Amino acid sequence: MKVLGLEATAHTFSIGIFDGKYVLANEKDTFTTKEGGMIPNEVAKHHVKVSEDILFRALKKANLSIEDIDLIAYSEGPGLAPCLKVGKDFAVGLSKKYKKKLLGVNHIVAHLEIGLFCTRAKDPVFLFCSGANTQVIMHEDKYRIFGESLSIAIGNAFDKFAREIGLGFPGGPKIEELAKKGKYVELPYCVKGMDVDFSGIVTRAVQLYKKGYSKEDLCFSLQETCFAMLIEVAERALAHCEKKEVLLIGGVAANRRFSVMLDSMCKSRGVKAYTVPMEYAGDQGAMIAYQGWLERERVQKKFDFNPKWRIDDIKTFWK
Ligand code: AMP
Ligand code: MG
């Protein structure tokens, strides 16, 4: 069975194809800026512009025609409404035109499941760190959120700081580069029980930048502080729930320093640390195709999008 997965929840328009065993294609185009952040309506326009080309590229890469596809899956939410609508409309259009079964899937569940698919993790504490979400998740009958950011997500915090210091979008990779040459400056460390809060850290880092602190030192310190906070809550989750694995997923999982810090904590506790491969860290269509494949038996009649869909509302019948 060949599943085409369509991702358009935020900055990236992507189409992946999964055949039940392998990812055959994972083509994407991400909205970027040299300066400034992402404006949802502009991103939606970007998605409309690249959609046909991405479809063409994905089918070519997989050496398939659209007729060979058995099921289409799209990211139904959560995400930015204008972007979600582009993805939903494109998927509905394809499904009607080529008479293909269609499923809307949850974008966050897809991040978690592709992480399991790509690693040997079986029942981990998920540390989900993306542009719009930061959550500590475990599967206990369903996916449950044990801790999260009380304000902005870690990726968003990085993007916001990057925007303030003129680095453009997405900020995370640029911060990672600059951080390699930085040294530590104290920033607020904000953990409340199992929750974290990044907004005050960004405010303080911007204040220090305006006082003349270097971009390198602030990028390094922002990373060290935010990652240490998340690793602290992941460690607490491990201890409370007696899990033996942590799986780092989402766009920020592409950060090498984060992975190294997580490895070090896990080593000292005698548990396993896994990080999703970089190709599957940020938003992409392959994870949506894979999730569609997991849910292939489900029947769906109404197709919409849901910007605020939480994973604890989902029955994980495929597990
Ligand atoms: P996602 O929403 O899962 O696609 O993740 C996108 C987020 O990941 C954006 O906020 C990026 O700035 C962030 N990101 C991407 N690569 C890196 C990196 N190497 N280090 C830190 N953050 C990153
Ligand atoms: Mg995402």
250: region left, alpha or beta (phi > 0 left; psi from -120 to 50 alpha)? left
Q: Kindly tell me if the per-residue pLDDT of 91 is higher than 90.
A: yes
Ligand 1 atom closest to 283 (CA): 4
Q: Kindly tell me if the per-residue pLDDT of 36 is higher than 90.
A: no
d(CA 126, CA 58): 29
pLDDT band at 37 (very low <50, low <70, confident <90, very high): confident
Instruction: Look at residue 20 in the predicted model and tell me its pLDDT.
Output: 97
Instruction: Look at residue 306 in the predicted model and tell me its pLDDT.
Output: 98
Residue 178 Cα to ligand 1 middle (Å): 15
d(CA 122, CA 113): 10
Residue 250 Cα to ligand 2 middle (Å): 6
Query: For 123-151, what is the mean pLDDT?
Result: 97
Instruction: Look at residue 249 in the predicted model and tell me its pLDDT.
Output: 97
Structural Rg of the chain based on CA atoms: 19
Cα-flanking dihedrals φ and ψ of residue 9, to 5°? Answer: -80, -25
Ligand 1 atom closest to 129 (CA): 3
Residues within 6 Å of ligand 1 by CB: 10, 130-132, 155, 158-159, 170-173, 176, 250-252, 254-255, 282-283
Instruction: Look at residue 276 in the predicted model and tell me its pLDDT.
Output: 97
- Nearest CA owner, ligand 1 atom 11: 172
Please provide the DSSP assignment of 17-71 as one string: EE-SS-EEEEEEEE--BSSS---HHHHHHHHHHHHHHHHHHHHHHHT--GGG--E
Instruction: Look at residue 257 in the predicted model and tell me its pLDDT.
Output: 98
Residue 4 Cα to ligand 1 middle (Å): 24
Number of neighbours of residue 173 by Cβ within 10 angstroms: 14
pLDDT band at 38 (very low <50, low <70, confident <90, very high): confident
Q: With the C-alpha atoms ordered 302, 305, 308, 312, is the resulting torsion angle positive or negative? A: positive
Hey, which residues does 26 pair with through a beta bridge? 16
According to DSSP, residue 299 is labeled -
Ligand 1 atom closest to 153 (CA): 10
d(CA 29, CA 284): 9
Residue 282 Cα to ligand 2 middle (Å): 6
Q: Return the best residue to mutate from 111, 128, 252 for the ligand 1 pocket (most ligand atoms within 8 A of CB).
A: 252
Q: With the C-alpha atoms ordered 259, 148, 289, 117, is the resulting torsion angle positive or negative? A: positive
- Nearest CA owner, ligand 1 atom 8: 251
Ligand 1 atom closest to 281 (CA): 3
User: Which residues fall within 8 angstroms of residue 248, CB to CB, at 6 or more apart?
Assistant: 127, 129, 258, 259, 262, 273, 274, 275, 276
Q: Return the best residue to mutate from 83, 158, 226, 230 for the ligand 1 pocket (most ligand atoms within 8 A of CB).
A: 158
Q: Per the structure block, which two tokens stand in for 135? A: 């959550």
d(CA 188, CA 192): 13
Q: Kindly tell me if the per-residue pLDDT of 183 is higher than 90.
A: yes
Instruction: Look at residue 239 in the predicted model and tell me its pLDDT.
Output: 95
d(CA 69, CA 243): 38
Please check whether residue 196 is in contact with residue 230, taking contact to mean a CB–CB distance below 8 angstroms.
Answer: yes
d(CA 191, CA 154): 13
d(CA 77, CA 66): 24
What is the widest separation between alpha-carbon atoms in the chain? 60
Instruction: Look at residue 253 in the predicted model and tell me its pLDDT.
Output: 96
Query: For 155-162, what is the mean pLDDT?
Result: 97
Q: Which ligand is nearest to the CA of 281?
A: 1
Query: For 64-89, what is the mean pLDDT?
Result: 98
- pLDDT tens for 235-274 read 999 999 999 999 999 999 999 999 999 999 999 999 999 9
Q: Which ligand is nearest to the CA of 129?
A: 1
